[in-house]
Amino acid sequence: MSLHLVKDTSAAIGVLDLQGGVYEHLDHLERLGITGRRVKKEEDFAALTGLIIPGGESTCLSRLLDTFALKEIIRKYCRRGMKIWGTCAGAILLAKKIVNEEPCLGLIDIEIERNSFGSQLDSFVAEAVVPEVADEPIPLTFIRAPKILRTGKNVKILLEMDGYVAAAEDENILVTVFHPELTGCLALHRYFVQKCGILTSENIPQGFDPFWKSHSWTQFSRIAGSADKNSKLF
Ligand code: GLN
C-alpha cells in the first residue's frame, strides 16, 4: 500500500475501540492519509475532530459505554463540535429513538429498528448511488442491519431504499446502516473526513482503493501479536 499525504497533519479521527469493526475503519482512514486513533478512555478524545462508532453489537457496545463511563464524555465532545459517524450498531447507539428499547446516546433525531431485515442469514449486499457522497455507485453491505424508520426535520436523508432510510445526517452526526469499511470503497470515509473539516490529498483514490483486500485490516489487529500497527500478520 502506498503512503498518502494529508494536508492537515494535526487532525485526527478516533475510532471507538470497544467492540466491532474497529480495525477495518482504521485501515480505511489510513488509506485516506488520515491519522486514525483508537479511542477507549476520556484522554483519547482530546483534539479529535471526528469519532467513528463502528458496527458490532449495540447491546454489548452500550454496556461497555456504561462500564467505561463514556456516554456523557461522547455527548460532551459532540456538543463541543466533534463530528460522529455511526455505522450499523453505531447508528443504533446514536439514535434518539430505538423501537422497543431505550435510546443510548440519543444524539440524532432518527427512529431506528434493530435487526429489521431478520437474522444474520438475512444479511445481504447491494449498491446505490448516493449523490452527496459520490457519482459512482457505492457497494452496500448490510449485516443484520437496522432500518431507519423516521427522520426528524433537521436530519437530511442521504439514501432511501425500499421504504426505509439507509444513510442520513444532521450537522454533527452521520449514520449509515451498512458497512463501507468492509468494502474497498473509500467514498463514505472521505465524506465523513470532509464533514470533519479535514482535507485529503488529491492523490488518494476517489472511490475504490485498488490495493484494498478483505484482510487488509489485519495489520491493525491485536491478533497480530501486538497493538503496534507496524506488526503485520501477512
Ligand atoms: N444487529 C446488530 C445490533 O442490533 C447490529 C449489526 C451490525 O452492526 N452489523 O446491534
User: Which of helix, strand or coil describes residue 144?
Assistant: coil
Domains of the chain: 12-224 (3.40.50.880)
- Whether the per-residue pLDDT at 157 is higher than 60: the answer is yes
Q: Tens digits of per-residue pLDDT, 56-112?
A: 999 999 999 999 999 999 999 999 999 999 999 999 999 999 999 999 999 999 999
End-to-end CA distance of the chain: 13
- Whether 116 lines ligand 1, by a CB cut-off of 6 Å, is no
Cα separation, 26 vs 188, in Å, equals 14
Residue 114 CB less than 6 A away from ligand 1:
yes
Rounded Cα gap, residues 33 and 95, in angstroms: 30
DSSP annotation of 101 reads B
What are φ and ψ of residue 165, in 5° steps?
-100, 135
Q: Of all protein residues, whose CA lies closest to atom 4 belonging to ligand 1?
A: 114
Confidence check: pLDDT of 229 > 70? no
pLDDT of residue 227: 47
pTM, to two decimals: 0.90
Ligand 1 neighbourhood includes 92 CB (under 6 angstroms): yes
Selecting among 30, 179, 189, 196, the annotated active-site residue is 179
Q: What is the band of 166 on the pLDDT scale with cuts at 50, 70, 90?
A: very high
State the closest ligand 1 atom to the C-alpha of 89, by its place in the atom list counted from 1: 8
Which candidate, 227, 198, 211, 224, places its Cα nearest to that of 35?
Answer: 198
Quick check: is 88 catalytic? yes
The angle formed by the CA atoms of residues 140, 141 and 145, to the nearest 5 degrees, is 115
Strand partners, 226: none
